[in-house]
Amino acid sequence: MDNEKILVLDFGGQYNQLIARRVRECNVYCEVKPYNMPLDKIKEFNPKGIIFTGGPNSVYGEDSPKVDKEIFNLGIPVLGICYGCQFMAYSLGGEVLHAPKSEYGKTLVNVNKDSLLFKDCNKETQVWMSHTDYVSKVPSGFTITGYTNTCPVAAMENKEAKLYAVQFHPEVMHSVEGMTMLKAFVYDVCGCGGDWRMSDFAKQTIEAIRAKVGSGKVLCALSGGVDSSVAAVLLSKAVGTQLTCVFVDHGLLRKNEGDEVEAVFGPKGPYKLNFVRVNAKDRFYAKLAGVTEPERKRKIIGEEFIRVFEEEAKKIGSVDYLVQGTIYPDVIESGLGKSATIKSHHNVGGLPSVVDFKEIIEPLRLLFKDEVRRVGLELGIPEYLVYRQPFPGPGLGIRIIGEVTEEKVKIVQDADYIYREEIAKAGVDKSCHLGQYFAALTNMRSVGVMGDGRTYDYAIALRAVETSDFMTADWARIPYDVLDIISRRIVNEVSGVNRVLLDCTSKPPATIEFE
């Protein structure tokens, strides 16, 4: 490819893909590679600039990640972030010290507006810090371009050598002018013009899939959600009828969802896909009987999905590849690499260790949800499908706290249906910018009074969040009068429910789903 490229070298930081995403937002192609990518490969990659990510290590740690110092002599601009900043200082002869206390959170930094990096920023600007070590002395040839009350070198640079570094994280949203700084690095320091678009992603991915799959057969795990729908359409553009989409109705779908998915992707829909619907409710319920532990439930559902796909693949014969619509937050929250496991997303950490396919293809693995939506629009998928709210692969299985039973599934389906109907009727999904909203069945039963009698029934929890990347989310303020209608209808119309609760927790510290 002949697009301009930025290379992000990954030192193990939490935000490495977020950096890549911010660069893509500047319309510049970007890839994240391990920190130990050999120098000759870096030269071959021919980046216009290199970004070092943060990381959990100290430069003095025995096995802390290090890069050959020669990298600073390639004439390619480098931006070091957090650990990347400390590493740059340390390897070029500066000094890094261990602070007695970590600095974590929002901080005001004073920046030098003569620096190319900060020329469009305010003199005092809010950034996000997350570090213990800090640069106490810059290497020779460097000047300090930013400081805070506690951090003497919040930014440094050697303009001639095109080496820049910041102790804070410009890539996170809390760094108010972080995007301005990254833009300045990409455009003004590296000289990029911004020649990459999301449509290029679709084109390049289609070509890459075609080259990989050749004349082989492919099975796509289609749930009807945004991610797997985009993956399926991408694949069908790449390999046409070599693709079969398998939609598993595991009995944990929202009310009417199975038929809705079939209407769009099945034989009567606008896409001419080979579509197979497998009604597998009974086998999923049987496997889940008596299981209450959330991770166990996720693993069981993840494994059962794969077993169904394997069986379907055998019926088709000679299927080498399984395609999944995994996206980046699924990967990071499932704790691959060095990050902690939050929950095993069924299509990543929920996968069994032995899978009977030659390879799993995940074309969206590096994208965030809103980027996937942009790819969907590029592929011509209608807006109402692209902007559907996400629905997790394990479905209602993770919206029923505790054991999953057919009775509980029916309760949560009916409550969720009413919730969605009333939200749509009131137009709240648009006015409150709801990213996702659903009903969950708490495992709690409590006493109520209905008619003249005592009830001892379940409580439904209503969840609604505003988010664009689903990594963080704020709870949505749905108007009380709408909540009132929803609550009354649920208690009156759904048998087995006598109480409705509102979840007013953001992510973090909660997650969006309940399990």
Q: Are 27 and 197 in contact (CB under 8 A)?
A: yes
- Whose Cβ is closer to ligand XMP: residue 76's or residue 230's? 230
What would the two tokens of residue 317 be? 């014969």
Binding window for ligand XMP (CB under 6 A); candidates: 11-19, 247-255, 326-334, 451-459: 326-334
Q: Does 463 bind ligand XMP (CB under 6 A)?
A: no
169 catalytic residue (yes or no): yes
- SS3 of 139-204: the string is CCCCEEEEECCCCCCCEEEECCCCEEEECCCCCCCCCCCHHHHHHHHHHHHCCCCCCCCHHHHHHH
Binding window for ligand XMP (CB under 6 A); candidates: 209-217, 389-397, 399-407, 439-447: 389-397
Q: Does 512 bind ligand XMP (CB under 6 A)?
A: yes
What would the two tokens of residue 498 be? 């006598």
Residues 48-107 that bind ligand XMP (CB under 6 A): none
The C-alpha atoms of residue 145 and residue 114 are separated, in whole angstroms, by 9
Q: Over the range 328-359, which residues count as b (16 or more CB within 10 Å of their CB) and which as e?
A: bbbbbbbbeeebeeebbbbbbbbbeeeeebee
Tell the burial category of 282 from Cβ atoms under 10 Å away from its Cβ (0-12, 13-18, 19+). Answer: exposed
- Whose Cβ is closer to ligand XMP: residue 146's or residue 435's? 435
- Whose Cβ is closer to ligand XMP: residue 380's or residue 508's? 508
Q: Which of 13, 47, 94, 390 binds ligand XMP (CB under 6 A)?
A: 390
- Collapsed DSSP state (helix, strand, coil) of residue 27: coil
Beta pairing, strands 155-158 & 143-147: antiparallel
- Whose Cβ is closer to ligand XMP: residue 86's or residue 347's? 347
With CB under 6 A as the rule, give the number of residues binding ligand XMP.
Answer: 17
Q: Please, which residues have CB within 8 angstroms of residue 305's CB and are 6 or more apart in sequence?
A: 221, 248, 250, 346, 347, 350, 393
Contact string (CB under 6 A) for ligand XMP, positions 411-440, x = contact: -------------------------x----
The C-alpha atoms of residue 227 and residue 229 are separated, in whole angstroms, by 5
What would the two tokens of residue 416 be? 């969720």
Binding window for ligand XMP (CB under 6 A); candidates: 57-65, 152-160, 392-400, 477-485: 392-400
User: What letter represents residue 226's amino acid?
Assistant: V
Could you say which of 4, 26, 30, 82 is catalytic?
A: 82
Contact string (CB under 6 A) for ligand XMP, positions 469-498, x = contact: -x----------------------------
Q: Which of 80, 94, 146, 393 binds ligand XMP (CB under 6 A)?
A: 393
- Whose Cβ is closer to ligand XMP: residue 115's or residue 436's? 436
Contact string (CB under 6 A) for ligand XMP, positions 340-379, x = contact: ---x-xxx--------------------------------
Give the distance between the most distant pair of CA atoms in the chain: 83
Q: Does 394 bind ligand XMP (CB under 6 A)?
A: yes
Which ranges of 317-405 does DSSP label H, i.e. alpha helix? 328-333, 369-378, 383-386
Rg (CA), the chain: 25
Q: Does 251 bind ligand XMP (CB under 6 A)?
A: no
Residue whose entry in the numeric block shows the structure tokens 């590296």: 190
Task: Tell the smallest beta-carbon distance from residue 326 to ligand XMP (Å).
Answer: 8
What would the two tokens of residue 195 be? 């020649």
Could you say which of 4, 30, 85, 169 is catalytic?
A: 169
Could you say which of 30, 85, 121, 171 is catalytic?
A: 171
What would the two tokens of residue 407 be? 């009775």
Q: Are 410 and 400 in contact (CB under 8 A)?
A: no
- Whose Cβ is closer to ligand XMP: residue 133's or residue 513's? 513
Q: Does 511 bind ligand XMP (CB under 6 A)?
A: yes
Cα dihedral sign for 297, 300, 303, 308?
Answer: negative
Task: Tell the smallest beta-carbon distance from residue 474 to ligand XMP (Å).
Answer: 12
Binding window for ligand XMP (CB under 6 A); candidates: 204-212, 280-288, 352-360, 387-395: 387-395
Q: Does 392 bind ligand XMP (CB under 6 A)?
A: yes
- Whose Cβ is closer to ligand XMP: residue 12's or residue 392's? 392
What DSSP letter does each residue of 232-270 carry, written as one string?
HHHHHHHHGGGEEEEEEE-S-SPTTHHHHHHHHHSTTSS
Binding window for ligand XMP (CB under 6 A); candidates: 36-44, 63-71, 148-156, 338-346: 338-346
Please give the DSSP secondary-structure letter assigned to residue 410.
Answer: H
Q: Which residues bind ligand XMP (CB under 6 A)?
A: 329-330, 333, 343, 345-347, 390, 392-394, 436, 470, 507, 511-513
Residues with active-site annotation? 82, 169, 171
